[in-house]
Structure 1
Amino acid sequence: EDAEEARQSLQAVLRADSYGGLGGAEVGVDRFAIMRSSEAPPERLLQSVGAATGGAIPELSRMPLDCAATSRNMRTMRLALDRFIEAGGDAAAAGFSDTVARTLRDSSRFRDIVEQSGFQLAYQPVVSLETGRLHHFEALARFSPDTSPAETIQLAEDLDMIQAFDLSVVRSIVRELEAQPRSTRIAANLSAHSLMIDGFLEEILGLVSDSRDLRRRLILEITETRKIQDLDRANSLIALLRKAGHIVCLDDFGAGAASLDYLRRLEVDFIKIDGRYIQSMTEGSRDALVVKHLVALCKELGVATIAEMVETASVARLAQELGVELGQGWIFSKPLDTPKWSPQSTPKPARGRVGAREIWI
């Protein structure tokens, strides 16, 4: 009862001290955030909170907001709060201002990456598991040597800047396709978050509006780190991409939010089976059983399959035996600086048990 009374008193204090009486939000255990006037003295808030909680001494951190860049500040504040909450007591000791400063630096750094095309693309072959022949390349973004691509792309999504980055990557791929033979096909990763933004689809289609041949050669892989909320709208957008001539692939199927509901409601040409299933599967294993039935279901639906992270000949052979059409991984090739690759000049069949179909690596 005492705790509840203190909580109500605290909420009243935060409401009274907040801008326009909007109140505060509890963003973590014993952590609250409010928006208040820059002219309001912090000492008043500290004293009021202490009185409301029976003498507790709070730690107060401030993040000044520049009204000239409201949307950027709001995105930055949201990400800084997330980092602050996740980091726990250490972040509280270091101070929220340090977290904010780091977030602002990251935001500025990524904005420069997008504006200056400050990234490189590496091209990893995707091959037929039956013949070993090249089907297409996947373009993989690379940043500085000491920066994880996954972390940087996650930052872009958190800051709602991923759509600008996706467009920049596609522009680079289109230029590469124009310089390559007409047989070259390259897959670009598109965030599902970008796809769902109004106007993004039109911008993507506009990049290759004059050439249906380029659209046929530009494969689009839909990636997602957050669950797609409106699958019907997502499917209608994918249908427009396919109608325009693009092959569409659903990336990392089986990981994160991607589920059978996606397969049921999103009409795509390929799904890429998450590498965690592929890497760990052995003959007769549960992972192999899941892959086997997933492939069978995809065939019934007219969807082709790609196995990623294929790193050994035995896994390549097993994936083929389970019905997977295409494979991608270091057993075939590491990512390359340019989209030029061919199978070994004198390929040798993978060793297999008697009666197994052979594949060329």
Structure 2
Amino acid sequence: MPDRAPPPVDRLLPTDEARDLLALVRDIARREIAPTAAEEEDAAHFPRELFTLLSEAGLLGLPYDSAHGGGDQPYEVYLQVLEELATARLTVGLGVSVHTLATYALATHGTDEQRAAHLPAMLGGGLLGAYCLSEPASGSDAASLRTRAVRESGGDWVINGTKAWITHGGIADFYTVMARTGGEGPGGITAFLVPGDAEGLTAAPPERKMGLKGSPTAQLHFDGVRIPDARRLGEEGQGFAIALAALDSGRLGIAACAVGVAQAALDEAVAYARQRRQFGRPIADFQGLRFLLADMATRIEAGRALYLAAARLRDAGRPFAAQAAMAKLHCTDAAMQVTTDAVQVLGGYGYTADFPVERYLREAKVLQIVEGTNQIQRMVIARHLVGPETR
């Protein structure tokens, strides 16, 4: 294991408030998250108490309006918070990103009454959210979802169907759910805010995953779940557009988390290379290994610059969907390469659970899949370059 803590990432932050915020996050990560990360991931333990702590510290609502309990932080700052959290433990960084994704529909398309009623508890009241778009037969082809919401004569909606691959499935306090209220295709989908304890809502046992074991991923079954029209978010038929807009921002969260995992792997590899001796000297003296570390660091810095450039476009109110797809694509591919290289640096030790790099490698893999596979990101980027595919 490393014999000393790595230096913090040198960040160019826009305000003194942002610098203080990152210092707070690093302190929480060092004291509360990192020390138990390996043990709890191995035990598939979800650290709900950490999310309560993060909520109390104001870290679950950073990019949202302070009028409803948010932090008024630009994405440029919020994403760097995610990166720091993911460096300490991906379950936590990704969990905050998913919670932010789940809150997006209400924060951006809810009425004033809806926001006043629900946002304070979501952003600073200890609640945890989940985002429900994917289904067993509609992952990348999300517009073909089959979960249906039918409006009854009294005005309530009744939801039936199954959602799949839901992060925080079964433990979330609220779910942002996309359900079909009209005909086929994206125009027939509407967004709803469903309480976690709604009658008729049940969760399957969590998926048995290769990595990210501390973060529960489960199917959700909606069996006659009844909710009032006051929990419909946006207009009928607007749900798919809301979902895609949320994913543009969510992909930046995944990119930042990927950089965090890669940074953790690099820190471990550098520390090991400095202290491991072969042929009478530290292996960090060997040019082949030095070049490998240099390439790892360069991939990380490039990824960080890419997600921050996309975040600054978002903060300026400019289009950023293509850049978000590029950031998600590059950063997650880079994390996969960096973690693979970190295992190589540690050699046989890297392949054991005594060192964390094998866990980082397993965690990096899922980031190439969630919130749009990297093949989907390439399709998004290509559409911005040359237009939609011809039929």
Given the two structures, how large is their TM-score scaled by the length of structure 2?
0.25
Quick check: which has more Rg, 1 or 2?
1
Query: Of Structure 1 and Structure 2, which has the larger fraction of its residues in helix?
Result: 2
Given the two structures, how large is their TM-score scaled by the length of structure 1?
0.26
